[in-house]
Amino acid sequence: MDSAGDIGFVGLAASLVLVVVAFAISLRLRLRLERDLVVSVARGLVQLLIVGAALAIVIDPDTPLVWSWLWVAGIVVFAAATVKRRAPAVPGLFWIGLVANGVTAIVGFAVAFGLGIFPVRGTTLVPVAGMLIGNSMKSAIVVAQRLVEALSEQRAEVEARLALGQPWVAASRPILRGVMRTALSPQIENTKALGIVFLPGAMTGLILAGVDPLDAVLVQLALMYLILGGAATTTAVTALGVVRRLFESDHRLVALPRSTRDTG
Amino acid sequence: MCNYNRHGPSRRATGILARVPRGEPLFAFESVSVGPPEARRLHRLDARLPAGGLTVVAGPSGSGKSTLLRLCNRLEVPSQGTVRHRGEDVAGRDPLGLRREVAMVFQRPVTFAGTVLDNLREADRGCDEARGAELLERAGLAPAFLVRDASELSGGEAQRACLARALATDPHVMLMDEPTSALDAKATAVLERLARQLVADGTPVVWVSHSEEQMRRLADCVLLLADGRLDRDGSAQEVLGDG
């Protein structure tokens, strides 16, 4: 194969030159990041080699498609666990993340495979799910973390609204809007800057693997639109789920970290 | 002890207050505790707030004054015990309806984005300019304030705009949580006068304060808390002495 797809282990080792540079900078400037650098490089290598070996089996045309679907389910569960870990103040966030990522996967797959954009194969199911859920997970994490911070910082405004007899949905709406904008903006900016500022991963990978650039662009565009829609879906489901969990059934805001309320 | 009906209903005598049994306290706290056992903010508090007039809830920082006030409109709920509003357990009330009936002005004025009229509409969606002007007048602000950006008001103006907004739900009780702590002497005097006017119009006021001078100026009744417990209660003179 005359493409960049075959770099081999020698090529991989050569790519570590820049890591060595980073190591040297850390050492010279006493950043104390040497250990983290080594661990991250080694961990990434081992993880991806295992994933690569497993993927080779899962997406093999002779392997039943059910294994690809199980892999997708694993991605959804792992993404939910990651969201939970990054915003521990929200009770029941794992289940919110599971529903949000699950809904995103269902909607995204319905479009990607139901409308025939991609054929249903292991080689498409797993990568599409990875990109869709991976990006949605980032938005979900931002939403969950920012909502806790914003409701804590702006507790006085929320309680002023609750004291007027507003239900929790109305009392949290201005904050919810701001946080959802914050969570979705990077994805929208990424879509705007496509091809100008950066060449996104899938397209770069396909071109490096020898695919015609125009075909690579079409695949990338379809993926970006799916990712944008997926991020919006995940953001909305996570935001509503998180806000619901942060209010009691009698329309009181729960105690939150970094609360600024007066208790004199 | 304060006479619970000394300041009986006047302007609203045909409304809900007319149905209130004589002698029924505005709020009664029956063995109320708030917070986990290791960090109680109120400890088995037994206290009653009189049906009318202006009651000042006083005590040092951390004595549970604000917590007691927040129990009245269910922004806080007791871990143990019962809070009654005019004899009725507030736990059985719809919290949204209760909060519109028992309004609250907070320590720091919190205005929402938009004009003062926009702020009033957060409490009363159908508030038109005439109604807005009437609410502002009750809070001591000129009608011209309706179109002012709420974020550009001074501290005293913002607190009065918050009072007008709280009045927009047509409350039967006004809770005021140290509402003058961030205001200068002039703005404080204006807000105190407005609170007395509310009482004169038949709306009982529960005012949290830690200033003895303010208690003497304002209070018909004083409820003094210490370490989350009732220390003393009665008229300002009974509680504070002749000073």
Q: Is the Cβ of B66 closer than 8 Å to some Cβ of chain A?
A: yes
Mean pLDDT within A123-138: 90
Structure tokens given for A39: 């661990």
In this predicted structure, the answer to whether residue B11 has a pLDDT above a threshold of 70 is no
Of the ranges A49-63, A108-122, B80-94, the best mean pLDDT one: B80-94
Going by C-alpha positions, the residue among B26, B28, B29 that lies closest to residue B17 is B26
Of the ranges A62-66, B128-132, B235-239, the best mean pLDDT one: B128-132
Q: Phi, psi at residue B174, to the nearest 5°?
A: -120, 120
> Read out DSSP for B105-129?
E-SS--PPSSBHHHHHHHH-TT--H
Residue B114 maps to a domain? yes
A8 versus A245: the higher-pLDDT residue is: A245
CATH numbers and ranges of domains, chain A? 1-58 (no CATH), 65-245 (1.20.1640)
What residues make up the domain containing B172?
Answer: 16-240
Query: Distance between alpha carbon A28 and the CA centroid of its chain, in Å?
Result: 34
**pLDDT tens by residue, A13-25:** 888 898 999 999 9
Q: pTM to 2 decimals? A: 0.80
Strand partners, B32: B45
Residue B46 maps to a domain? yes
Distances in Å between the Cα of A68 and the Cα atoms of A79, A125, B75, B198, B228 are: 17, 7, 50, 70, 60
Task: Say how far apart CA B152 and CA A239 lie, in whole Å.
Answer: 31
Other beta carbons within 10 Å of A107? 18
Q: Is the Cβ of B67 closer than 8 Å to some Cβ of chain A?
A: yes
A55: part of which helix (H) or strand (E)? helix A34-58
pLDDT of residue A258: 62
**pLDDT tens by residue, B49-102:** 999 999 999 999 889 999 999 999 999 999 999 999 999 999 999 999 999 999
Binary contact (B108, A163; C-beta < 8 A): no
pLDDT of residue A200: 75
Q: What's the total number of domains in chain B? A: 1
Other beta carbons within 10 Å of B220? 20
A122 versus A166: the higher-pLDDT residue is: A166
Structure tokens given for A78: 């792992």
Residue B170 maps to a domain? yes
Q: Which residues of A touch B97 (CB under 8 A)?
A: 165
ipTM: 0.88
Q: Which residues of A touch B74 (CB under 8 A)?
A: 250, 252
Task: Say how far apart CA B212 and CA B218 lie, in whole Å.
Answer: 10
Candidate from B61, B65, B103 with C-beta closest to A163: B103
Residue B3 maps to a domain? no
pLDDT of residue B187: 87
pLDDT of residue A69: 93
- Closest residue in A to B169 (Cα–Cα): A164
Distance from the B22 Cα atom to the nearest Cα atom in chain A, whole angstroms = 28
Find out whether B173 and B207 touch, Cβ atoms under 8 Å.
no
Q: Is the Cβ of B73 closer than 8 Å to some Cβ of chain A?
A: yes
Q: Which residues of A touch B123 (CB under 8 A)?
A: 164-165
Binary contact (B162, A163; C-beta < 8 A): no
A194: part of which helix (H) or strand (E)? none
Structure tokens given for A10: 């020698």
Residue B198 maps to a domain? yes
Q: The domain spanning residue B185 has which CATH number?
A: 3.40.50.300
Distance from the B128 Cα atom to the nearest Cα atom in chain A, whole angstroms = 18
Q: Which residues of B touch A250 (CB under 8 A)?
A: 74, 77, 95
Distance from the B18 Cα atom to the nearest Cα atom in chain A, whole angstroms = 23
Residue B11 maps to a domain? no
Please state, for a pLDDT cut of 70, what percent of chain A lies above it: 94
- Closest residue in B to A155 (Cα–Cα): B110
**pLDDT tens by residue, A59-74:** 888 888 999 999 999 9
Chain A residue set in contact with B, beta carbons under 8 Å: 156-157, 159-167, 174, 250-252, 262-264
